[in-house]
Chain A
Amino acid sequence: MHHTQFSNMGRRRFIGFAGASLAGAALIGCTGGSKTSAPAASNTSGSAGTAAAPAASVKPASEITFWSAAPASSKAVDEELVKRFQAKFPDIKVKYEVQGSNYAELSDKLAASIAAKTAPDVAMLSDVWWFKYAAAKQTVPVDDLLKHPLLKEAGFDQADYVDSLMKDYQFNGKQWGMPYARSTPLFYYNKSVWQAAGLPDRGPKTWSEMDEWATKIMPKMGAGKFAFTNGKGSSYIAWTFHAVIWQFGGHYSDEKFNLLMNSPEGIAAGNYVRDQIFKMKYANVTSASETDDFVAGQTASIISSTGGLKGILDRSKGKFEVGTAFLPEAKQFGCPTGGAGLSIMSSSSPEKQLAAALFIAFATSPENTAYYSQNTGYMPVRKSAATGPMAEFFKTNPQFKTAVDQLAKTQPQESARVWIPGGDAIIGTGLERMVLKNEDPKDVWPDVIKQLEKEAAPIKKQIGLS
C-alpha cells in the first residue's frame, strides 16, 4: 500500500514536472538568447556610430568571415569566387559560411550573432532586410571604404555598377551595401503553347494584349490549367505586384514612408489582378511554387525571378522551349529589382572592414559577376559585363539577354515593402485577400495602410524621421 502510494506521487510529480518544464521551454526557446547578449549590441554600435573611414595606412585583416544564404543553390558558385579571391589575395583568408537556406533565415542568424558578438564581417542581406540593419547601425556605409587606395589598385570602378541596383542600397546619401545576387521579375512563357495558340514568339507587350492572347491560350491548356500563374501570396506576390502597381501609374509609398497604395491607380492595379483570376478566369495563384507549375506544364506563363532562370531552363529541357520577355505594360512599363546585396558589419575592425570591401569589390568585378550570373540567373551587376564577358554567353542563351536588357529599365523598390520590417508580408496578406478571396482593393488597402503605419512608426523614429 505504502509502495503504491509512493509511486502514485512519483507519477503525479513526474507528469507535473514534465508539464512545467515543457511549458517553460516554449518561453525559453524563443527568447533565451536575446537578453543575455544585449550589452554586446551596445558595445558594437557604440563604435559603429563613430567609425570613420579607414585611413590609407590601414592594412586589410588577414581573415574575414562571409555569410551567404546561397540562394538558387549557388553555394558552389560562391565558393568558386572565394577560391579566385584567395588566388589573388593569398594573405586575406575568407571563411565562407552558408547560414540559412533563405534570406529570412540568414537574418535570423545574423540578429542572433550580433547579440552573441559573433557577427560575420560580410553578410548577404536581401532587399527587405538590409534597411533595418542599417537603421540600427549594425552595418556601415561602404562609401569611404571603397575610396581606399587598395581598391583603386585592384581596379575598382564604382561608376560601372548598374545604377538601379546601386540605388536599392542607398539611404541618407550613403551606400549601405553592394549589389551581388540581384534579380528582377521576368516574364516566362512556354513556346510550345504559344505556337499551338498561334501567337507570335514574344511576350505580350501590354496586359490587354495578354488578356486577348489568353482567350487563345486557354483552349490549348486543358481543364484545371491556366494561361498565367501568380506567385505565392505569403512570400512573393508583393514583389511582382510592385511592378503591376507601377505599370498602372500607382505607388506603394514614397521615401518619407507616406503610404500611397489606396489611390485610383493602386485600386485599378488591384482590380486588374483580381479580374485576371475571377472575371477573365485565365490566371490563378500557385499552391507551392509558380516555377514548378510552369515547368510541369500546369501554366503557360509566369512572372518570376531571374534568379530561377537557370533552374527553369535546366528543368524544362526536353519538355518545351522557354521564352523570356519584358514584363507587360499597362499605362507604362514598371519593374522592380530584388534579390540580395553584400553589407559590411559595424562590429568588425577597420582592418576587417577594409578586407571585406576588397572581397566585395573582387566578387563583383565584371568577370566574376558574369561568372556568377551565368551560373545562377542573377543579374550581372556591372554595366561592362553585358558587353564584355556576357556577350558570348548571350548568343547561346538568349533568355539571359532579355533579363539583362530589361535591367536597364528597372527601378529600386519603395519603402513600404523594403524599409518597413515585415512590410512585405503585410502587403502580401492584403494582396491575398484580393487574389484568393476576390475582395475589393478599396476595402483592403486601408487595412494594409493601417498595419504598415503601425510598423513604420518605430523605424521612422529610429532613423529620426518622426
Chain B
Amino acid sequence: MNSARRTGDRHALRDYALFAAFVAPNLLLLLLFVYRPLVQGVWLSFFSWDLISPDWEWVGLDNYREYLTDSASHYILRNTLIFSVGTVIGSMSLGLGLALLLNLPLRGREVVRTILFTPYVISGAAIGVVWLFIFDPRLGLLAALLAKVGLPSPDWFNDPNWAMPMVIIAYVWKNLGYTVVVFLAGLQSIPGDLYEAARVDGAGSWSRLRHVTLPMLSPVTLFLLVTNTLSSVQAFDMIRVMTQGGPLEATKTMNYQLYEEGFVRFHVGTASTIATLLFLLLLATTLLQLRTMERRVHYS
C-alpha cells in the first residue's frame, strides 16, 4: 500500500516535470512579451512622461482623474461604444446569414468562401485606401452607383453623422470573412440526424433553424461575440487611413485617442491610462458576456 503510493507519487512527479517541460518555453515567452509589458503599461499610467526624454514624474492617479473628468473622453467613449456595437452586430448578423447560405449545397461555394475570407488577411491600411476611393462622394464608386438610381451620395467624410457608419461598413466588410468561417465550421459540426429527427417531427425550415441550428450554434456564437467585441475595440489602421478620427472627432475611438495621446501629443501617461481603462472595460465586458450568455449556451 505504502510502496504503491510512493510509486504513484513518483508517477505524479514525473508527470508534473513533463508538464512543466512542455509549458515552460511558452510560459516564459508569455511572461516576457505579454505579461511583463502589460504590467509595465499599467505602471506607466501613474507617470507623466513624454516618450522621448529621460524626465519621468510620478503623478499618482492624476492621469485617471483628468481623463475621466474630461468631457472629450466621454464623447470618445460614446464613439467607441457605437463603433463596437455597430461592427459586432453587423459582422454577426451578416456573418450568420452568409454562413447559412454557404452551407447549402450550391455550386462554386468554395470559391465564394475563399473570396469572402480574403479581406480578413489583407492589411487594414490597404483596405482603407480602397474604401477611401469607394466612398468619395464626388469621384467614388459608390457615388457613381447611387447616381445610377438617382440618389445623391452622403457626404461620408465631412458629415459627422455619416463618417461613423462609413468606417463601420468598411470594418465589417474586412472582418466578415472570419465570422463566416467560424459560423460555417459550427454549422458543419451539427449532426445531420438532428435535422432528420426534426423533419420527421414535422418541423419546417424556419422551425429547424430556430430549434436546431441556432441552439446548436450557441457556443460558436458566444465565442464570436467575445472575440468580435474585443477586436472591434482595437480597430485602428482603417480609422487612421480613412478619417484620422475626424470629421470633428466623430470617428475618434479610445484606441485612436490612445495613439494620438502617445505619439502625437507625447503624453505616454495618458495613453497608458487609456490602455488600462480599455483593458478593464474589455475584461468586464467579456466577463459579463460569458456570465449572461453562458446559461443560454447549449454545448452538445
Contact = CB atoms under 8 A, between A and B. Distances in A.
11 contacts: A8-B299, A11-B219, A22-B230, A24-B38, A24-B279, A26-B234, A27-B38, A32-B41, A232-B246, A425-B264, A458-B48
Interface string A27-56: 111111111101001100110000000000
B185 to A, nearest CB: 13
B92 interface: no
Given A28-B34, A28-B37, A41-B54, A287 B248 contact: no
Which 5 A-B residue pairs are closest in the complex by CB-CB distance? Answer: A42-B54, A31-B41, A136-B53, A23-B282, A19-B286
Nearest to B249: A429
B53 A26 contact: no
Interface of A: 4, 7-8, 11-12, 14-16, 18-36, 38, 41-42, 45-46, 104, 107-108, 111, 114-115, 132-133, 136-138, 224, 232-235, 285, 287-288, 292-293, 296, 298, 421-422, 425, 429, 432-433, 436-437, 455, 458, 462
A25 B248 CA distance: 28
Given A35-B44, A425-B264, A30 B259 contact: yes
A34 B268 CA distance: 8
A32 B37 contact: yes
Contact of B266 (A14, A27, A421): A421
B244 interface: yes
A35 B233 CA distance: 23
B223 interface: yes
A39 to B, nearest CB: 8
Interface in B240-294: 243-249, 255, 258-260, 262-268, 271-272, 275-276, 278-279, 282-283, 286, 289-290, 294
**Residue of A14, A24, A25, A31 with highest tally of chain B CB at under 10 A:** A31
Nearest to A439: B248
Contact of A138 (B53, B233, B283, B294): B53
A21 B132 contact: no
A171 to B, nearest CB: 16
B227 A429 contact: no
B111 interface: no
A108 to B, nearest CB: 5
A26 B282 CA distance: 9
A432 B249 CA distance: 10
A432 B223 contact: no
Contacts of B262: 30-31, 34
Contacts of B138: 224, 287, 293, 296, 298
Nearest to A137: B53
Interface stretch (B9-17, B81-89, B95-103, B150-158): B150-158
Given A41-B52, A41-B54, A42-B54, 17 more contacts: A19-B227, A31-B44, A35-B44, A111-B51, A111-B266, A132-B50, A287-B135, A287-B137, A287-B156, A288-B132, A292-B139, A422-B264, A429-B246, A429-B248, A432-B246, A432-B247, A458-B50
Interface in B29-63: 33-35, 37-38, 40-44, 48-56
Contacts of A23: 230, 279, 282-283, 286
A277 to B, nearest CB: 11
A349 to B, nearest CB: 19
Nearest to A35: B40
SS class, residues of chain B in contact with chain A: helix
Contacts of B41: 27-28, 30-32, 35
Nearest to B48: A458
Nearest to A226: B138
Contacts of B159: 436
Nearest to A12: B294
B290 A16 contact: yes
B275 A26 contact: yes
B69 interface: no
A234 B255 CA distance: 17
Contacts of A224: 138
B279 A22 contact: no
Given A45-B53, A235-B244, A15 B139 contact: no
Contacts of A29: 234
B26 interface: no
A436 B158 contact: yes
Contact of B37 (A15, A35, A293, A296): A35
A455 B244 contact: no
Given A138-B52, A296-B138, A31 B246 contact: no
A210 B117 CA distance: 51
Contacts of A138: 52-53
A29 B271 CA distance: 12
B7 interface: no
A19 B230 contact: yes
Nearest to A423: B265
A3 to B, nearest CB: 11
A462 B268 contact: no
Nearest to A21: B34
Contact of A30 (B132, B266, B271): B271
A42 B227 CA distance: 39
B116 interface: no
Contacts of A232: 157, 246
Contacts of B155: 287
